[in-house]
Amino acid sequence: MSAILREVIKAVDALAAQSGVDLQSSICEHPCMVLGEAVQIKRAIQNVIINAVQASAEKKGSVAVTCTPKDFYVDIRIEDNGSGITPAQMSKIFDPYFTTKQGKSGTGLGLYITKKVLEDHNGSIKVDSTPDRGTTFTIRLPLLNS
Ligand SMILES: Nc1ncnc2c1ncn2[C@@H]1O[C@H](COP(=O)(O)OP(=O)(O)OP(=O)(O)O)[C@@H](O)[C@H]1O
Ligand SMILES: [Mg+2]
């Protein structure tokens, strides 16, 4: 997981810098193995981090990524202090083609694919948000050999 997270952060760094968003990460150093398709898992996490950066751009806010291994699973938290998600939007964010980024290249497939990939890996994604204050996504994946 730490290798994947490092790659994702590296890939999103330029977008964050361009957007004036402070992207912080604290990544677990000790081995933290997940069984699955690395490319898909990488893309799934990257989708969520890009969303967080995009949601924080207007405020020039910040995004924090943390990785916390527990006994049987690892939690990856992506916390932003951006636009937040309204209750009406919340019920739709994982639906295919739901986007609030009309005219800004959003396809609305990001979270739909992310959720599918995580479920294919026996993982999950949950979200907690306060409109105008920010959003936290928590991605959970089972650890190998646990
Ligand atoms: N961190 C976030 N803060 C605020 N809104 C969010 C956040 N993450 C997702 N959303 C909302 O959920 C919607 C769906 O997200 P999703 O990633 O599926 O599509 P998208 O980002 O609009 O398009 P794409 O991922 O294809 O570029 C977004 O348009 C946005 O309204
Ligand atoms: Mg997206």
Nearest in space to 78 (alpha carbons), one of 117, 38, 48: 48
Ligand 1 and 52: CB distance under 6 A: yes
Cα 140 to Cα 126: distance, rounded to the nearest angstrom: 9
Q: Rounded to the nearest whole angstrom, what is the distance from the C-alpha of residue 20 to the centroid of ligand 2?
A: 18
Which of 12, 15, 19, 51 gets mutated to test ligand 1 (max ligand atoms within 8 A of its CB)? 51
Mark 38-47 as b/e (b = at least 16 C-beta within 10 Å): eebbbbbbbb
Task: Give the closest residue (by CA) to ligand 1 atom 31.
Answer: 100
Distance from Cα 37 to the centre of ligand 1, integer Å: 23
* Of the listed ranges 20-24, 38-42, 67-71, 117-121, the one predicted with least confidence: 67-71
The answer to pTM > 0.95 is yes
Asked whether residue 95 carries a pLDDT value surpassing 90, the answer given is: yes
Q: What mean pLDDT, rounded, does the chain reach?
A: 95
Q: Does domain 2-142 have CATH number 3.30.565.10?
A: yes
Residue nearest to atom 8 of ligand 1 (CA): 51
